[in-house]
Structure 1
Amino acid sequence: MGGHAKARGAAAALGVLGLLCAVLGAVMIALLPSLIEQQVLKNVRIHPSSLSFNMWKDIPVPFYLSVYFFNVLNPDKVLKGEKPQVQELGPYVYREFRHKTNITFHDNDTVSFLEYRSYQFQPAKSRGSESDYVVVPNILVMSASMMMEDRPMSLKLMMTLAFTTLGQRAFMNRTVGEIMWGYDDPLMSLINKYFPGMFPFNGKFGLFAELNNSDSGLFTVFTGVKNFSRIHLVDKWNGLSKVSFWHSDQCNMINGTAGQMWAPFMTPESSLEFYSPDACRSMKLIYKESGVFEGIPTYRFVAPKTLFANGSDYPPNEGFCPCMESGIQNVSTCRFNAPLFLSHPHFYDGDPALAEAVTGLHPNQEEHSLFLDIHPVTGVPMNCSVKMQLNLYIKAMSSGPAAPAHVRVVLPPQSGAMEGETLRSFYTQLVLLPKVLHYAQYVLLGLGCVLLLVPVVYQVRSQGPKDGGRRPSLAAGPEQPPSPHTPLLQDALHGQPASPQA
């Protein structure tokens, strides 16, 4: 009896355990998605208590600015009207460091900040050094010439005389470091003296002279604490809700985020929109495909073909005009009226005439398209490669040196990928743990169902026959009382004399 009692108790215990597992599994299936959603919403908002706040404040992703120069091989022949021949040099790689300061939270669910950028040259990642010499268009001379086009003839003559006196030419041969971070030029001093405010440079002139150790403007973005539907969206930039560089309200709108994080729970129908102070406009990327980065599921977003299309091919871009061929965008109105144009590298996705006008360009998708890989659950970028080309448009002028149209100046792709401890922590907390919980809920439910069968099976087996399996025949009649002659018959069968009857 003791063995049966123990078996019955064990079966009952397993049944209770199975019930608990099944209930827990069912509860997890019902509630886990909403719990994960609540945790994600809690930890991606901009608040000191959120897990992503430090990541937002000091971006741990190492960004690299890879700069390519187009070395002009035939500058003298170009001035005579021949097609430019260029050789791509680089990359010259710089590590970009970003950190936010002046972080101020406001009562209207927004936070404002300044984000400073600094750059350090990375010789090990570069193909060349900052002391390499490159023949490129003289941006200062050509820009000044273009700006003098509508000025009085007297000023044009003065500028031409200044070019000659100072030995200024349409092309210059300078080092990468000088072109990037600035060089002393007597022409700059002359321009600042007689034409103050023409250029926003007071010292050395360089393509990135004003970017190093500078901020990208005062951003004010929504935190998502009170109203999650607007999380990370830009409210104002430098106190403005829209810019005034362009010729239409649509083009002047400040849309999207500051380009660092986006709203979570993305779908293939989502798009990435952000405001770029460097491009002086908002940009929108579209979904291309899903993928995996270091074990983390991602959505890849790319630039649409209409990003730099002209107003004829894409009417909404009419506000960015005056336009030229599709594939280049005029940014002169936000770059002190210098004839500068933005495009994809090698005029990828642009009018074929652009690349055909120069010898040495080879546009292709793999090397020259831009993309962002985003973790769709959190809206955090995992990997990115933002590639832009800066172009200088010049035409022959009577007031200055003759020059070609569409001379390529510099190609500054920017890339970054999450790595190291940040990547491992992100994977553990936001990928591995939810995946384990996802499978655990079904394991618990299945295990609970199996354990619930144990007491059922035991009960069925315990109610079986206890007489060795012998059952009375259903065909037998009612039990008959023993015959009085039966003992005599049994005695006779065993050879015993019958007892006399009374």
Structure 2
Amino acid sequence: MSRVPKLSTRTVTLDVTSSETSSESSETSSESSETSDSYSFDESIVSLNFFTKFRKLIIIILVVIMLITIAFFLWGAAAGFFIYNFTWLSTKGLIGKAPDYWKVFFSKRMYVSFEVHPFSIANVDDVLKGKKPRMKEGPTISFRLISRKSNITYSIDKDDVTFDEKCDAQVTDKSRHNYEQTIHSIVNVPFWLTLLLGYDIYGTYADTQIFELLKNPSVAFEDNSPLTADFTLKSLLFGGHNLFCKSKIKICVKIRHMIEKTKSRTFVLKEDGIDFSLFAYLFGKFNVTATMHSGIRNTKMAGHLKKLNGQELITTWDNGSTTSTCNKIRGLFHFYPGSGNGLQDFELWISELCRPVMFRYKAEKSDDDFLQFEISDDTFFNNLDRHLCYCRNNPRNRYWYRSCFSGVMGLVDCLGSSLMVSFPHFINSAEQFTSKVEGLQPNLQKHTSRIIMYKKNGSFTELSIKYQINVPIFNVDRIPILAKVPWALVPIMWIEQKLLVTAQEMQDFIKVSPYSRAFHEEMVPVNIFRFTMIVVCLLILTVCIILLTLLILKTKPPLELKVKDFDEKDSI
């Protein structure tokens, strides 16, 4: 009885031994065939031991690092632009006040030059017989406006700046002789504007109310021919020597009444007569209080008009409609520098025309540092929907002499006088105008309005606005000398308004313009730091994402199972 258990125990022992021997033999065989792989796997388990033990803590740390890195990345990519849009935090401690580029703008006197090219009628006798007027371009004179700004106030909340601007005229020395010289046979602008005022006030009754009283024009206009007159350019532009209606006869009383009713800006009522000046209105237009976007919050709007004389709207066009886009004051304000918009088209407010005009991108200049913009060809295309309000619904436009043909725009609603504006030499004008006069020589290169912009900061290095002022002539049966005069829109003069920025002024604007901060040498170390930080942040984010992916998705190594098996074997 006692030997059976011994044999049993012995048998079990042998079996276990045999089993272990077999297992060990098998493992040894397996290990011998996969020696290198087994050691490599064991080493990887050991190396991951640390990450497994502190897995959750490491994930939290990586997430925190990623959030901090993202914050720095966003600052470098986006918030960094605020630094030089706000003019390097206003460098002088002027945060919340005027940026440096406004200080430069207001500290300088801006000079805008005007080159005036008058026309005369070369065949006066033939026109009185019914032939087309033949135009001849006369001597050029130049004068300039000197802009002075005062009462400057800033509003950070509204992101705007308000100032008073006054302009004074000066004639350049080289054109002073032409300025005083008498030009013969210029169309008699005061006479024809008086006839047109008669149509405006009396309509079809103008024949009996006005024209009948002017059978002999000399009673009101003295010795001047009703078709043409002799003017010095000084008197034609600024008045002082064009007095007519010096007596208080019936026709002159009516003419005074018409001028008062229409509030014409080209006539000046005086005690001893009525004076005429083409540019009498211009200085009143330039003596303004302007409110513009300062660009502190929105750089692209810098220099764009918000208000003129406290008003956001004018009542000039479309019967004074407050919803009409034509009455909205908008666009860059005449010669404000440093507010360009890259390759985008933009509008420029022209006070003389009571409206903005569109400039469109054309090309880069040869040196690639400058961009060229030209005035839109369709500026005076009155058949376009966006331009209809410049001649729509106004009862004055029902008269044949102010039809809304393309290429010409009437200024009666802007100035109170029936002058009409076009491009020089009737470029892009309808045949109804170009076919009625002779002698004009349109030249796109010479007569097209252009703006040259410095690409790196948006400043205008050259601004050239060109337009032509015209007056209609027509036959008047009640005035015998004009009975055969053909209908025509006769050019009085074309004008080039220019702003030229000197090299020193350009350097001043480059240094402070919000568009040039990335190119300005003072910003180089700042931008190197920003761009370096962006690159470093991207690398850190990449590493963190890879580590998180490994920690979250990687399967845990079977260490616990191996330890358990070992314990079971050891206990057996």
TM-score calculated relative to the size of structure 2: 0.63
Q: 1:291 aligns with which of 357, 362, 365?
A: 365
Aligned twin of 2:276: 205
Query: Alignment partner for residue 230 of structure 2, among 163, 167, 173?
Result: 173
The share of aligned pairs that are identical, in percent, is: 19
Q: Which residue of 1 is the match for residue 413 of structure 2?
A: 333
Query: Which among 435, 448, 462 is matched to residue 383 of structure 1?
Result: 462
Which structure has the larger Rg? Answer: 2
Q: Sort the Cα spacing of 1:43 and 1:61 in 2 relative to 1 into closer, same or farther, 3 A.
A: farther
Q: 2:519 aligns with which of 434, 449, 461?
A: 434
Among 308, 311, 335, which residue is 1:237 paired with?
A: 308
Alignment partner, residue 223 of structure 1: 294
Is residue 2:400 matched to residue 1:320?
no
Give the 5 Å matches for 1:268-417.
268=343, 270-291=344-365, 297-311=369-383, 314-321=384-391, 322=397, 323-336=403-416, 338-352=417-431, 354-400=433-479, 402=482, 403=485, 404-417=487-500
How far did 1:120 drift? 1.3
Query: For residues 73-222 of structure 1, what are the structure 2 equivalents within 5 Å?
Result: 73-106=122-155, 108-124=158-174, 128-149=178-199, 150=203, 151=205, 154-157=208-211, 159-160=213-214, 163-166=217-220, 167=222, 168=224, 169-182=226-239, 183-187=241-245, 190=252, 193-195=256-258, 197=260, 198=262, 199-200=264-265, 201-203=268-270, 204-212=275-283, 215-222=286-293
> In the superposition, relative to structure 1, how do residues 164 and 308 fare at CA in structure 2: closer, same or farther (>3 Å)?
same
Asked if the contact 2:185–2:229 (Cα under 8 Å) also holds between the matched residues in 1, the reply is: yes
Q: 1:407 to 1:155 in 2, by over 3 A?
A: same
Offset at residue 267 of structure 1 (A): 3.1
Q: Deviations over 1:69-96 (max 9, x none)?
A: 0111112221222111111113211122
Alignment partner, residue 24 of structure 1:
none
Q: Does 1:260 align with 2:335?
A: yes
Helix, strand or coil: the match of 1:413?
Answer: strand
SS of the counterpart of 1:77?
helix
Pairing 1:406-485 to 2, within 5 Å after superposition: 406-426=489-509, 434=519
- Superposition deviation, residue 175 in structure 1: 1.4
**1:293-331 residue CA offsets vs partner (Å, 9 max, x unmatched):** xx89222221122111121xx232222224443211122
**2:27: which partner in 1?**
none
User: Quick one: which amino acid aligns to residue 333 of structure 1?
Assistant: D
- CA deviations 1:197-218 (Å, max 9, x no partner) are 1434234321123435873433
After superposition, the Cα gap between the structure-2 partners of 1:240 and 1:332, relative to the gap in structure 1 and judged at 3 Å, is same
Q: Structure 1 residues 44, 84: closer, same or farther in 2, change over 3 A?
A: farther
Given that residues 182 and 232 in structure 2 are in contact (C-alpha distance below 8 angstroms), is that contact kept between their aligned partners in structure 1?
yes
Q: Compared with structure 1, are the counterparts of its residues 60 and 419 closer, same or farther at alpha carbon in structure 2 (3 Å cutoff)?
A: farther
**DSSP-derived class of the 1:393 partner:** strand
Separation in 2, partners of 1:136, 1:310: 28
| Residue 373 of structure 1, CA deviation | 1.4
Question: Structure 1 residues 423 and 377 mapped into 2: Cα distance closer, same or farther (>3 Å)?
Answer: closer
Give, in angstroms, the shift of residue 188 of structure 1. 7.2
1:85-135 CA distance string (max 9 Å, x none): 111113211122112233344563333333222221113267944324232
The normalised TM-score by structure 1 is 0.71
Tell me which moved more, 318-327 or 86-95: 318-327
Q: Which has the higher contact order (CA 8 A, sep 6+)?
A: 1
1:76/1:368 CA distance change after superposition, 3 Å: same
Cα 1:104–1:436 shift into 2, 3 Å: closer
Instruction: Mark the runs of 5 or more structure 2 residues left unpaired by the alignment.
Output: 1-71, 392-396, 398-402, 533-572
Contact kept, 8 Å, 1:231 with 1:262, in 2: the verdict is no
Amino acid at match of 1:238: N
| 1:342 Cα offset (Å) | 1.0
1:38 and 2:74 correspond = no
Do 2:332 and 2:347's aligned partners in 1 also have CA atoms closer than 8 Å? yes
d(CA) in 1 for partners of 2:518 and 2:213?
Answer: 67
SS at match of 2:442: coil
How many Å separate the matches in 1 of 2:179 and 2:82? 48
Report SS of the residue matched to 1:187. coil
| Structure 1: distance between partners of 2:256 and 2:340 | 55
**Residue identity matched to 1:202:** L
| 1:258–1:274 contact (8 Å) kept in structure 2 | yes
- Kindly indicate whether the alpha-carbon contact (under 8 Å) linking 1:114 and 1:217 is maintained by their aligned counterparts in 2: yes
Q: Is contact 1:266–1:376 with CA below 8 Å preserved after alignment?
A: no
Asked whether the equivalents of residues 424 and 494 of structure 2 are also in contact (C-alpha less than 8 Å), the reply is yes
Separation in 1 of the partners of 2:231 and 2:123? 16
Q: Is the 8 A contact 1:94 1:120 kept in 2?
A: yes
Offset from partner CA, 1:423-467 (integer Å, 9 cap, x none):
34345677799276899989xx99xxxxxxxxxxxxxxxxxxxxx
Give yes or no for contact 1:390–1:408 (8 Å, CA) kept in 2.
yes
State the AA in 1 paired with 2:138: L
**Aligned to 2:115, which of 60, 66, 69?**
66
In structure 2, C-alpha distance between the alignment counterparts of 1:272 and 1:44, rounded to whole Å:
28
CA contact (8 A) 2:335 2:499 kept: no
**Structure 1 CA distance for aligned equivalents of residues 362 and 108 of structure 2:** 25
Aligned-pair distance for 1:370?
0.3
User: Using a 3 Å threshold, how does the CA distance of structure 1 residues 160 and 146 change in structure 2: closer, same or farther?
Assistant: same
Contact 2:426 / 2:433 at 8 angstroms: preserved in 1? yes
- Shift in alpha-carbon separation, 1:65–1:81, aligned structure 2, 3 A: same
Show structure 1 runs of 5+ residues with no match.
1-26, 447-502
Query: Alpha-carbon deviation of 1:386?
Result: 0.6
SS in 2 for 1:102: strand
Task: Report the count of equivalent residues.
Answer: 412
**Bigger helix fraction:** 2
